Structure 1
Amino acid sequence: MRFALLSIIGGVSLSLAASAQQPLLSFSDARRQQLREHPEYVNLLKKADGYLKARPMTVDDLKPSGRDTKHSTTAFPHVVGRRLNDWSEALGFAWVGSGDERYAEKGIELLCGTLANFPVAQPYVLKGFAGGRGDIMRGIAIGYGFFAGAMTPEQRDQVAVVSEAYVDNFLSEADNPKIWWHGIHNYNGVCGGAAGLLTMAFADYPGIASKQGECIRIMKRWFDVSIDSEGAYVEGAGYSQYGLSNSLLFAWLLRERGGEDLFKHPHVKQLPRFYAQSLLPGTNIMDARNDSNYGRVNRECLLLALANRDGLAAWLWETSGVDAYPYSVIFGDDLPPSTPPTGLLPLHQHFPDRGLCVWRSGWSDRDVMFSTEAGPYYPTTHNQGDKGHFTLYAYGQNWAVDTGYGNDSHFEDSRCHTQAHNCVLIDGKGQARSGNGHGTNGTIVAYNGEAPGGYALADCTEAYQKNNRGMPGAGAELALRHHLYVQPEQGAPAYAVVFDDIRKDAAEHRYTWQMLTWGNVAIDTRPNGALFRNKHRPEGESYAWTPVGKLDPSKPLSASAAAATGSCSWEFETAAAGDWYLWGLVRAMGVDNGKSDSFVVQIDEQAPIDWHMPGNRTWNWAQVTTGVTDKTPWRVTLPAGKHRLRFMTREPEAALSMVVLTRDAEALLPPQDGDSEHIGLRVDHAEVAGGMVRRQVADESAALSRLLLAVDAAAPLAAPVVDAFRPTDGRQPAHFPRFGIDTTAVNPLFVAVLVPLPGEQAEPAVGFARSADAVEITVTWPTHRDVIRWHPANREKPSFTRQ
């Protein structure tokens, strides 16, 4: 096939050939030049070149794997759709940038060939998850949008017939109340947005194009019921992103063509508030809740910033967003002025439809964030046994954490269960089964955000009794959890107090108060609590970093320029030839941690790589990888003998303490002494040159932050126990240290005081005094004393006074 490039008439069709319809996406000459000039363009072409060897998917390519065969089978449409989308995007954008006809030829082959094997009636597709059909529709829309003008009429008709069947299938299910995902589930956005894209891509096929209004109606209905008036998505931040990935792309193109502006929907406009309140202080990561993982802001904030001229969305994108290339070239970069949340948003917020309460002292790595959740279950959405579960983040460290996505509750070690959350267990059991279409109800009975003591009362009783299908939990006549958040004042940091009024029945039972923390935290137990501290600190006496002002922004980021700017290097020796993998103990120390999280790495004279390490505020081990978003462990083949390893400046304030080279390709953490063959290299023994400097660990205080936990109960407490929650689902993180403390009582009336402390802050004295009907907690600081009184029988907010 030979294809001719279109001349530019307000934009260049991505099909790059004459077409009777408006292209799905379009470029101007300037945009195409931006596509080519972007640093990731080389990687885009590499990916497209790799896909030149691909062949259309067949049913034989889909084989159940892992311990959950049924789930693997129903997820097959996701596999097909996402691979089709990856092919379409990489080959299509590569064709736009290069004009190389091989990309178009392969794109048409993969699109037509795969759809011949996977029409909507194919059993795996029809019986699989509906979201997978949304993925397939998106892949078709993008592929056809790129390659339609280069197809034969027969090929276009073939794809149109398949596409119309997919759209009809979606519309029939989306309007059927008996379908389990009807109305509120993220599949409405995934499928509705993708079906809308098809109505645009096939504008010259009336049977498809005429259904655009129905797609818009379903999208608006989803916005109405799944996002509350404050902007909170009922399934959590991660699933909002999945649902919005297709729907906001559709909304953008609809708006660009003069159609209805879905960005003006009042709930959609509030989304940036929800994302900002979900950010962990000092990071670009959003809290993991309601079966969502920890994750970064995605391109939905870029689109919201551009479409609504929203300064908060622009701030989220600039400080937290993942590079949206190559789509960012289409959307443009005309962002409104960035508006940080400090001073714009309150330091507390209740999302009532979601049942989520958040309090914070700010958004920097010197701030504290405390939250709890106890909301209703919306059938059928993602859910976990976590009503009353709290999280706490402070000074750049994850202290009380969520274990993230599970949705495999039929396994005993699922992250869905209460055993994986910061809740109370009764005789070792928790709330009723959640996940896989099951869910429990909770209620925020009372809420107050004002200083000095923000407050929320969560009623979790029903969650311990049963789920939406009547399946029992541990059972409880009463399960109330009071949360008190104390704002920082008079030199004392913010802290939280959690009170549990929980009773199974009139008999005594074993109650366990538990809290899970991050893998880099060590727990030093005490008789009635513990001290939590970050165990991943700089190794040795020093670390290397490049202070602000030492980096010359005019120099290109070549290896030679990076080495001239700053370097940390070691000479080491290997006994035999082989492959090696690298791990680094690193920290992003800049004000904008997303711009202080990379090095240039080189061994001997081999080609250097840009390592985009995690942008964590605290010291963490991370594997050295290639790529920005699609990260691959860096494998280095070395002969026996002496070698030189260089970590060179790429961004200021990226810090390095130690490097480990290991032969173990499957290592999940850097090896320790006695493990497989490895080489450890500390900065203490490195050659540090140029703008990179050696800094003494004694000068570092932020990494010394810790968390004081003091627990009291109405009956004697057993000795604390520290174990680990280890889900075997293959996802990361796969290890969460867990603190637990037991008592045997009719009602334990637990009180837990959680005090995060910055490095320079001395511990307060925490005391408990109980009477027949009350408990008094005192937290004594050098300058004052806080007194908190709780009368459980009153079911009222605990009183707080500062003396």
Structure 2
Amino acid sequence: MSLNRYAFLTLLLSLRAAAAAPLVSFDFDTGDAAQVWNHKSNTTTAVVADRPQSGGGALRFTIDPAEFAYGWVHTGLPEADYTGLHGIHGYFRAPVGTLGTLLFHVCLQGAAGQEMSYFRSDLGSLADSQGEWVPFYVAVGDLRYERGPVRTIEAAALKPGELIQFLASVDGRAPVSIDIDSVALLNAADGAALAREVKAQSRQRLLLAADKVSGAPHPRLFFTPDWLPRYRAKAAIGGERQAAYQRLIAAAEELLKSHDANDPLGKLYALVDTSKLEGTPFRAAFEGQLVEASWPLEVLGAAYQLTGDARFGDQGAKALANAAKRLTVDEPFLDRGFYYTRTLYVRALAFGYDWLWDKLTPDDRRTVKATLLGFVTNIHEHSQTDGWGRRPLHRVWNWDPGLMGACGVGLLALEGETRLGEKGILFDCRRHLRDYLTLGIDADGCGHEGPIYLGYGSGAGVEFVELLRRQGRGDLFTETNYQLIPPWLLAETLPDGKRWNNLSDCGHDQRNWPAYLYACGRLSELAKTEAPVAGERWSCLELRQPLNYLQQFAESPGPRRLNYPALAGLMGWEWQHGPGSRDPAALDPREALAHVLLYEPCQPVDDPAKYLPLALHFRGRGLVVCRTGFGPDDFHLAVEAGPHAAGHDQSDKGTFTLGAYGADLAIDSGYGNDGDPQKSGSSSAHNVVLIDGEGQPMRYHNQSSGHVTGFHHSSLLDWIRVDAREAWSVRYDGDWVPSPTPPVARADRTFVFVRPSPQQGVPGYLVVYDDIAKDVGEHDYTWQWHIPADRAFAVSESVWSAVPRGMTHDVLTSEAAGPGGTATFRLNVPTAGKYVLYGLVRAGGPELSKSDSFFVSVDGGDRLTWDLKTGAALSWDPVQDRAEAGPRAFDLTAGEHSIRLEIRERQAELARFVLLPEDAPAPVDPDGSPAGAPSMGIEDAKLDGGGFVVHNPAAATGTPVTMDVFPLRPAGGKVTTDWFVTSREGAHPRLQYTVRSADPQFVVVLVPRREGTPRPTVEALAGEGAVGVAVRWPQTTDLLAFSRDAGSAGQVQLEGSAGFVRVANEAPADWALLDGRQLAFGGKVLAALAAPGVQVQTGAQ
């Protein structure tokens, strides 16, 4: 026995000796002790006195593998209170040269006639023993369901007679003996420390001795001899690549001055020790702090490789070793964070180990390897049981590529240096990434969870994909739907080019995510392998029936409908106008590193319309985007009603957003993920219809589905039809088992986007038809319209308008670069008590997440880090510290008090403060403040330091654009407006129109207008079997009819879903039959089809 092993076993014995009596222990001191252990037919048991681990004997079970290559022993649990059970501790031993594995099971009794449910833990390889005792510890929480009726295991539910089992699989044909001793069931107080020590030792056993390792030399990840010169060349390449390189090295230089390599995790542990946050707020704060603790390890390692400067290597190696010694996978507080969060640390350990290898001592290498190995095996084990990766459809969730990418990168760093099943784990990691990039991105190249989640969640998966390619292990960029994403990214980009749409529980922020840096780099290179194809365009496929779920989640990648030069041109345009428009010198260090490793520029196309139609339907996700072009004043309509598999989702099937002429005119409420039935995840937050004041049933990750049932694009109009019945009527659990909710009879919604026709004097406009009914009885139906905070509603009986909202506030802010500064406010508190301080604030910079915080202190007290939750809208937000679960309640005496505001993130903006009693409702309207409350505007501030400036906005905010909405039917409803408070994007105005009806059939016309745009005359058309509307322009009249089967509305006769006729000089000039057999005007047949279909005619005489 080595000294290290002897010392370790001595430590374990002392821990066990110091512990209180175990809940249950198994005594092998007498010969009859083996009798309580049942065994398989090819297995025998006996008590042996050959060097027991403790006491007078050990249990030996001998397996004869002649018939079965495995054997087992098990025994029932005795009477005991298992409520406090933490885990099972013991020892095993096998002779020198024994090959095989040892498993441990807890087997729960089923109902009468049912099988038992098996929960498993792998104790290790029998070869670990070499004739010596090997400790094991199995925490109840680490047991994984294996087979039998699906259940969960909880210590408190364990009953006498349920089994614990040891099962060994052995190699060869000769009998094999395994010894078990000192088996004890321990409570948490006794077992937790023991568990950590046993796990640490088991990881050390999985590492090969230094003279046994194989694999490529370090560095083997990115900075290999063939690639290092290419990276170093970026130091003088010019443009954005050189700027990013310089930013990376500058960040490393700054770390030499500011980074504490002796205690690199100090702030993380301080947060854990002192934070009052719980739940999601804690998880978010924890992730932010782990990011700050982890990226320096990567940046220092990369700077060392790029420059050869030993200062970076020495600092990085010291920090890496100290981090790995302190934070291992066994740290309990990791479970308080999101499970995904550990990926940020895992990738830092992997890259740090590889890039700083020659600066680490042999002992430190082994420490880092053991810590990294612990995370790799933990993630791989969880991938087989957890809801983010257990089944292929779970892998649509963005956590999966980040977790398995980190696992894969970690194993690539360790490959050839462990006794793990490396080939199998790497295969699994690659399979998970392949599934995500084929299922999480649909066959048209659209991310199911939106562009932010694809960027955030893919994490180290991007680096893993590239490393596999460089090592000849598959190209997951070209072999999946990853290569197809440019058209989708352009579709998600709003007309200003600075924001992605915030559908699908997303936000607006465009960031230089590695996923998109890599897409640029790969498409740039792939474009050189193909010649441009003259006249090629992305095909626009018509749809009249919903796709099947298996079609939407097809396992084969979709076809590449554009060649690589075209895809590269689109990606270049997206990059230039969106994420890449930021100054590379302002990148954060993580972004700069990814830029250096992954990015190459794509030559942008002058106009994306060269390759793309002006309407795109992404069939897997159920997203349709229509636009009039790719300029800042063009129309942008987005409609979503798709399937749910896993991940982020909202109660929004059939919702839409609309922008035109540079203004947002119908908006989404953005990120929610809080389960609040009245916040951003709910139907109340979306432009959908409510029934009796209720929306589509919701939960956190909503797990509901809708369907796009019709789509057609033409130069005359775009037609989109969706069905949200499933979203109302069915919820699914984590394995897609349906759970019915109160059903609705119909929930169809039709959009007709009429395209601008300047020659005919017709601007673009939208008609929305809702055929929704819960049942045959009367109910309240509420049609909703959300607008941004820079708009206000003007409501009359026949038309509702969104108009630019006057703004009376100047704002206090800071320029993008400049000195620090403070602003001091003084206010008088009339009565002593506890108060909450609210600020009218917003994130004012081009990147919202980097311009949304201040420092605040009251009366010289705690310096609070105040993270704004308002987004880009000027909204009220309570002052609280990021480490607090809610608003700070200040205990104030009567009299004068001071508030000190400091710049933290530049371009954050504040208009005023208001102080309210702790129990008072929070303010909502940004144009008002509660009567009598102490209030301070920026004119009351004393400015010091020169960093704060006063910004004087125009008299009205918002582009001078209005939108008129004509509620044609049903008439007689009630209009209400309010300020809707979102989860993360402040408050904005909402209009609700409620009618009492058995069959409402809403028809609403939405007309964006700017100077020179005529306002139409709009009227409902009388009919039978159909509903219709006439939209009268100076030169033409547009007639639209909608029917469930066949009918007439005015002069339009329709057999089908929808019809459109444009009348000029009393004759039809253009028309469209939309999913029907026949369309007629004034009795004259315009279109007749043998089977339902779509026919569009323009320029008729």
TM interval, shorter chain, is 0.7 to 0.9
Q: Counterpart amino acid of 1:751?
A: V
Q: What does the per-residue CA deviation read over 1:488-516, in whole Å, with 9 as the maximum and x for residues that have no partner?
A: 11343222111111111222111110011
Match of 2:1011 in 1: 759
Report if aligned partners of 2:977, 2:992 keep a CA contact under 8 Å in 1: yes
1:457, distance to aligned residue in structure 2 (A): 1.6
Residue 274 of structure 2 corresponds to residue 61 of structure 1: no
Residue 350 of structure 2 corresponds to residue 141 of structure 1: yes
Match of 1:347 in 2: 614
Residue 711 of structure 2 corresponds to residue 447 of structure 1: yes
Instruction: Judge which range, 244-253 or 477-486, deviates more.
Output: 244-253
Match of 2:655 in 1: 389
Match of 2:549 in 1: none
Q: Whole-Å Cα distance in 1 between the matches of residues 768 and 742 of structure 2?
A: 21
Q: Counterpart amino acid of 2:660?
A: A
Q: Whole-Å Cα distance in 1 between the matches of residues 957 and 684 of structure 2?
A: 34
Match of 2:259 among 31, 36, 51: 51
Structure 2 gaps of 5+ residues are 1-215, 237-241, 525-567, 585-590, 811-815, 827-838, 852-871, 877-906, 917-922, 942-951, 1047-1054, 1064-1101
Q: Whole-Å Cα distance in 1 between the matches of residues 708 and 403 of structure 2?
A: 32
Match of 1:329 in 2: 596
Match of 1:544 in 2: none
Match of 1:486 among 754, 767, 771: 754
Match of 2:332 in 1: 123
Match of 2:644 in 1: 377
Match of 2:727 among 463, 478, 481: 463
Residue 469 of structure 2 corresponds to residue 202 of structure 1: no
1:345, distance to aligned residue in structure 2 (A): 0.9
Q: Whole-Å Cα distance in 1 between the matches of residues 772 and 451 of structure 2?
A: 30
Taking structure 1 as reference, are residues 475 and 529 closer, same or farther at Cα in structure 2, changes over 3 Å only?
Answer: farther
Match of 1:709 among 954, 965, 968: 965
Taking structure 1 as reference, are residues 664 and 83 closer, same or farther at Cα in structure 2, changes over 3 Å only?
Answer: farther
Q: Whole-Å Cα distance in 1 between the matches of residues 508 and 405 of structure 2?
A: 24
1:189, distance to aligned residue in structure 2 (A): 0.7
Q: Whole-Å Cα distance in 1 between the matches of residues 632 and 489 of structure 2?
A: 17
Report if aligned partners of 2:272, 2:333 keep a CA contact under 8 Å in 1: no
Q: 1:34-433 to 2 correspondence within 5 Å?
A: 34=242, 38=246, 42=250, 45-46=253-254, 49-52=257-260, 55-57=264-266, 61-62=271-272, 69-72=278-281, 78-79=287-288, 81-92=290-301, 104-125=313-334, 129-176=338-385, 182-183=391-392, 184=395, 185-203=397-415, 205-207=417-419, 210=423, 211-296=425-510, 298-299=512-513, 300-309=515-524, 310-322=568-580, 323=584, 324-331=591-598, 333-338=600-605, 340-378=607-645, 380-409=646-675, 411-433=676-698
Q: What does the per-residue CA deviation read over 1:692-751, in whole Å, with 9 as the maximum and x for residues that have no partner?
A: xxx9989x9992111111113335222x21112113x4x3x1112111111000121111
1:344, distance to aligned residue in structure 2 (A): 1.0
Q: What does the per-residue CA deviation read over 1:250-277, in whole Å, with 9 as the maximum and x for residues that have no partner?
A: 2233334554222212411111111111
Comparing both chains, which one has the higher relative contact order based on Cα–Cα distances under 8 Å and sequence gaps of 6 or more?
1
Q: 1:771-786 to 2 correspondence within 5 Å?
A: 771-786=1023-1038
Report if aligned partners of 1:77, 1:135 keep a CA contact under 8 Å in 2: no
Match of 1:31 in 2: 234
Q: Whole-Å Cα distance in 1 between the matches of residues 269 and 910 of structure 2?
A: 42
Report if aligned partners of 2:912, 2:935 keep a CA contact under 8 Å in 1: no
Q: Counterpart amino acid of 1:725?
A: F
1:333, distance to aligned residue in structure 2 (A): 4.0
**2:658 aligns to what SS in structure 1?**
strand
Q: Counterpart amino acid of 1:52?
A: D
1:558, distance to aligned residue in structure 2 (A): 10
Q: Provide the TM-score with structure 2 as the length reference.
A: 0.55
Structure 1 gaps of 5+ residues are 1-18, 541-556, 560-572, 598-618, 624-655, 682-694
Q: Counterpart amino acid of 1:270?
A: L
Residue 980 of structure 2 corresponds to residue 725 of structure 1: yes
**1:285 aligns to what SS in structure 2?**
coil
Q: Whole-Å Cα distance in 1 between the matches of residues 306 and 469 of structure 2?
A: 25
Report if aligned partners of 2:748, 2:771 keep a CA contact under 8 Å in 1: yes
Instruction: Judge which range, 35-44 or 394-403, deviates more.
Output: 35-44
Q: Counterpart amino acid of 1:306?
A: G
Report if aligned partners of 2:520, 2:599 keep a CA contact under 8 Å in 1: no
**1:447 aligns to what SS in structure 2?**
strand
Q: What does the per-residue CA deviation read over 1:47-68, in whole Å, with 9 as the maximum and x for residues that have no partner?
A: 664333864256563269688x
Taking structure 1 as reference, are residues 575 and 115 closer, same or farther at Cα in structure 2, changes over 3 Å only?
Answer: closer
Q: Counterpart amino acid of 1:192?
A: M
Q: 1:654-665 to 2 correspondence within 5 Å?
A: none
Instruction: Judge which range, 344-353 or 303-312, deviates more.
Output: 303-312
Taking structure 1 as reference, are residues 712 and 757 closer, same or farther at Cα in structure 2, changes over 3 Å only?
Answer: same
1:90, distance to aligned residue in structure 2 (A): 4.4
Residue 797 of structure 2 corresponds to residue 797 of structure 1: no
Q: Whole-Å Cα distance in 2 between the matches of residues 129 and 620 of structure 1?
A: 28
Taking structure 1 as reference, are residues 42 and 319 closer, same or farther at Cα in structure 2, changes over 3 Å only?
Answer: same
Q: Counterpart amino acid of 1:678?
A: I
Taking structure 1 as reference, are residues 748 and 50 closer, same or farther at Cα in structure 2, changes over 3 Å only?
Answer: farther
Q: Counterpart amino acid of 2:516?
A: C
Match of 1:626 in 2: none
Q: Counterpart amino acid of 1:481?
A: R
Match of 2:790 in 1: 520
Q: Counterpart amino acid of 1:200?
A: L
Q: Whole-Å Cα distance in 1 between the matches of residues 746 and 925 of structure 2?
A: 42
**2:404 aligns to what SS in structure 1?**
helix
Percent pairwise identity:
24
1:221, distance to aligned residue in structure 2 (A): 2.1
1:456, distance to aligned residue in structure 2 (A): 1.8
Report if aligned partners of 2:614, 2:629 keep a CA contact under 8 Å in 1: yes
1:797, distance to aligned residue in structure 2 (A): 2.9
Q: Whole-Å Cα distance in 2 between the matches of residues 82 and 793 of structure 1?
A: 57
1:449, distance to aligned residue in structure 2 (A): 2.0
CA root-mean-square deviation: 4.3
Q: What does the per-residue CA deviation read over 1:625-677, in whole Å, with 9 as the maximum and x for residues that have no partner?
A: xxxxxxxxxxxxxxxxxxxxxxxxxxxxxxx9xx9887899999999898414
Count of equivalent residues: 676
Match of 2:20 in 1: none
Q: What does the per-residue CA deviation read over 1:22-59, in whole Å, with 9 as the maximum and x for residues that have no partner?
A: 34243444334646874686566446643338642565
Q: Whole-Å Cα distance in 1 between the matches of residues 915 and 570 of structure 2?
A: 41
Match of 2:891 in 1: none
Taking structure 1 as reference, are residues 197 and 518 closer, same or farther at Cα in structure 2, changes over 3 Å only?
Answer: same
Q: Whole-Å Cα distance in 2 between the matches of residues 414 and 472 of structure 1?
A: 23
Q: Counterpart amino acid of 2:1015?
A: E
Q: Whole-Å Cα distance in 1 between the matches of residues 328 and 461 of structure 2?
A: 22
Report if aligned partners of 1:164, 1:207 keep a CA contact under 8 Å in 2: no
Report if aligned partners of 1:361, 1:369 keep a CA contact under 8 Å in 2: yes
Q: Whole-Å Cα distance in 1 between the matches of residues 1032 and 790 of structure 2?
A: 29
Q: Counterpart amino acid of 1:711?
A: P
Structure number with larger C-alpha Rg: 2
Report if aligned partners of 2:499, 2:508 keep a CA contact under 8 Å in 1: yes
Q: 1:588-667 to 2 correspondence within 5 Å?
A: none
Instruction: Judge which range, 167-176 or 348-357, deviates more.
Output: 167-176
Q: Whole-Å Cα distance in 2 between the matches of residues 454 and 328 of structure 1?
A: 39
Q: Counterpart amino acid of 2:258?
A: G
Report if aligned partners of 2:785, 2:991 keep a CA contact under 8 Å in 1: yes
Q: Whole-Å Cα distance in 2 between the matches of residues 66 and 370 of structure 1?
A: 43
1:213, distance to aligned residue in structure 2 (A): 3.5
Q: Whole-Å Cα distance in 1 between the matches of residues 965 and 219 of structure 2?
A: 62
Q: Whole-Å Cα distance in 2 between the matches of residues 47 and 152 of structure 1?
A: 22
